[in-house]
């Protein structure tokens, strides 16, 4: 695991501070789907290759953005595997679920 060690004396910001900062930077929009995101619904997404721990225990350097709960769950169930997500898109196209275009 490529867990990033915290530097000596470095303090990890509380998860709520990190979540609020990203939500403001993103203009209250989900970083994945781009739709409006209520702050109460915002989920802090982080790279599990860096910190394979719950987000509240993550180092903060691997925070990627804030997402809707369903968008975050989508990434989690796919294990952040781009290849798997591309296969899912191809499946949807092949089964005519997505509009052609």
pLDDT band at 10; cut points 50, 70, 90: low
**pTM for the structure as a whole:** 0.78
Shortest CA distance to 74 belongs to which of 62, 61, 89?
A: 89
pLDDT band at 5; cut points 50, 70, 90: very low
**Exposure letters 62-98 (e unless 16+ CB within 10 A, then b):** bbbbbbbeebbeebeeeeeeeeeeeeeeeeeeeeeee
DSSP 8-state secondary structure symbol assigned to residue 43 = E
pLDDT digits over 40-52, tens only? 999 999 988 888 8
Q: Which two tokens stand for residue 72?
A: 């975050």
Architecture of domain 15-94: 3-Layer(aba) Sandwich (3.40)
Q: Name the strand (E) or helix (H) holding 94.
A: helix 82-94
Provide the CA 40 distance to its chain's centre, in angstroms. Answer: 16
């Amino acid at each position: 695991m490529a867990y990033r060690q915290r530097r000596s004396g470095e303090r990890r910001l509380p998860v709520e501070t990190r979540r609020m900062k990203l939500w403001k930077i993103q203009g209250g929009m989900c970083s994945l789907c781009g739709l409006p995101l209520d702050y109460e619904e915002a989920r802090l997404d982080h790279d599990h290759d860096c910190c394979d721990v719950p987000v509240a225990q993550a180092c903060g350097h691997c925070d990627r953005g804030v997402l809707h709960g369903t968008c975050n769950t989508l990434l989690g169930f796919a294990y952040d595997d781009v290849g798997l997500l591309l296969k899912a898109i191809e499946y949807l196209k092949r089964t005519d679920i997505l509009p052609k275009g």
